[in-house]
Amino acid sequence: MNKMKMLLLQTSFISLGIFLSVGTFQAIMHLTGNTYATEWYFALSVIFAGVLCSVPSLILCSDKIKPFFVRIILHFLMIFAAVSLLGWLFKWYTGLVGYAFVMLIFVLVYVFVWIMTKLFYVREDREINSALNSIRDSE
């Protein structure tokens, strides 16, 4: 897959995952009678985080680091560091409890992005195989 297409896909999945998890949290807070309000720039910070956190996905395409699980660990740690820094810069959390909550959302979004990416690639593979089979059948 084209690296630019992969980065755009990752950016959209990351941003969607963050919006879904924060929106779910806000709905739960509202239903329990509490309020949770974000800053005016929250949406922009999520999109920026999506772009920034998709860049380490390029390490997964590299063959310079041989064992794939080492690439996954490096990928996870780079994104963990980026989310920690962005959370501090954009004031996504205050204190240790807020940081733990942001890291919980990070792990959920990380898993969500892996699942969505896998589903996307499986669908794309099926479409390619179907097209190849139809070409073979016509010959």
In angstroms, rounded to a whole number, what is the distance separating the alpha carbons of residues 129 and 79? 33
What's the confidence (pLDDT) of residue 139?
66
**Phi, psi of 64, rounded to the nearest 5 degrees:** -70, -35
What's the confidence (pLDDT) of residue 48?
93
In angstroms, rounded to a whole number, what is the distance separating the alpha carbons of residues 116 and 122? 10
Domain residues for the domain of 35 are 3-138
CA proximity to 45, closest of 81, 82, 78: 82
The pTM for the full model equals 0.82
Averaged pLDDT in 10-residue chunks for the chain of 139 residues: 84 92 89 83 92 90 85 94 94 91 93 91 90 80
Question: Domain count of the chain?
Answer: 1
